[in-house]
Amino acid sequence: MPIPTRSRIAVLALAALLLPTACSPGRESTESAGPPETVRLGYFANVTHAPAIVGITEGFFAEELGTVGLRTSTFNAGPDVIQAIFAGALDLSFIGPNPAINAYAQSGGAAIRIIAGTTSGGAALVVGPHIREFTDLAGARIATPQLGNTQDVALRAWLIDQGFTATLEGGGDVSVIPQANAQILESFQAGRIDGAWVPEPWATRLIIQGGGHVLLDERDLWPGGRFVTTHLIVSTAFLERHPDVVNAILRGLIRAQDLIAAEPSLAQTAVNRQIETITGKALAPEVITGAWANLTFTLDPIADSLRKSADDAVRVGLLDPVDLDGIYHLDLLNALLREEGRPEVGS
């Protein structure tokens, strides 16, 4: 599929996903092979990745894998995950919807499959006290975590719906400024930006530590307040060669989701401890509690919201139209759910 030519910045955002390799992503040999020595799993040190963190820290993935080792890696942004998968350096990862869409599009549907949902909700437009209504956004500077990431696309599409212009270069009625999440908090506290559309726990941190307020909870834009924030993807080649190993990861994910539902306080403690281990600083108790309340942890990938996110990326000039048929592979997850008498999920 051709890369959009409407903007040099759009080209750069999508080109970050492309790595030169000896073969096309997802096209390596699928001849029968024994189990790998190690499965390589990616995730973010973020509350929206709680099922991943619980599965790792509580040992669920390792136990289900048995003699297969588990090597985990943390990432700061979705494009870095996709680069690792394209380079053959990562097998599975928890990730947001738009990087998964881009990976599928750029590889012609070859590189990845979505095999489970994990998290819904947990994103908001938080602004300073001087902005009280949507109309006050004219001339404002609003940050997002990265050009073309899930929150960036959501903000740009919503601004169009409100009648605002926002160019990919940062111009227009509203200036959209991509920044790393930690920088967003610093910029907001210093008054260099007027607000940000960010995932948790950053939305709650902007409120508690930055004195902001929620202008729009993204859940209000979706039917039933449900939209995919994080899901689990796998390299297509790895899925074809090692379905039993993928099945083990899914069993561990189900156990993690069950623990989160049954013992949320224990899960929050485990997640915050791991965030501290990775970043060097735990979240304040009121931050993780506030962020947790805005999230729904679910195995349902909420496929309709993924397709809407793709349509929005096309609408804002960050993606050419893409056919997402085939991006989901939910057979393994649904077989496990049937075994336990649970409702299946759909695509």
Domains of the chain: 8-121+226-339 (3.40.190.10), 123-224 (3.40.190.10)
- Rounded to the nearest 5°, which phi and psi values hold at 331? -60, -45
Confidence of residue 6 (pLDDT cuts 50, 70, 90): very low
Query: Going by DSSP bridges, is the β-strand pair 141-144/112-121 parallel, antiparallel, or unpaired?
Result: unpaired
pLDDT over threshold 90, residue 28: no
CB-CB contact of 297 with 261 (8 Å): yes
One DSSP character per residue, 278-323 reads: HHS-PPPHHHHHHHHTTEEE-S---HHHHHHHHHHHHHTTS-----
The per-residue pLDDT for 33 is 63
Confidence of residue 9 (pLDDT cuts 50, 70, 90): very low
pLDDT over threshold 70, residue 18: no
Q: What is the pLDDT of residues 155-206, one digit of tens each?
A: 999 999 999 999 999 999 999 999 988 899 999 999 999 999 999 999 999 9
The per-residue pLDDT for 109 is 95
What is the rounded distance in angstroms from the CA atom of residue 302 to the CA atom of residue 331?
15
Q: Lowest-confidence range among 28-37, 217-226, 312-321?
A: 28-37
CB-CB contact of 177 with 169 (8 Å): no
How distant, in Å, are the alpha carbons of 231, 251, 297, 334 from that of 340? 21, 11, 18, 10
CB-CB contact of 47 with 201 (8 Å): yes
CB-CB contact of 232 with 297 (8 Å): no
What is the rounded distance in angstroms from the CA atom of residue 19 to the CA atom of residue 23?
11
What is the rounded distance in angstroms from the CA atom of residue 225 to the CA atom of residue 218?
8
Instruction: Find all residues with CB under 8 Å of 319, minimum gap 6, and list them.
Output: 4, 14, 101, 102, 105, 310, 313
The per-residue pLDDT for 285 is 94
Beta strands in 129-212 (DSSP E): 141-144, 175-178, 195-199
Q: What counts of helices (H) and strands (E) characterise the chain?
A: 14, 11
Angle between helices 264-279 and 285-292 (to 10 degrees): 120
pLDDT over threshold 70, residue 1: no
Would you give the end-to-end CA distance of the chain in angstroms? 23
- Rg for the chain, CA atoms, rounded: 20
Per the DSSP assignment, residues forming a β-bridge with 73 are 42
Three-state DSSP at 176 gives strand
Q: What is the pLDDT of residues 130-150, one digit of tens each?
A: 999 999 999 999 999 988 888
Percentage of residues of the chain with pLDDT beyond 70:
90
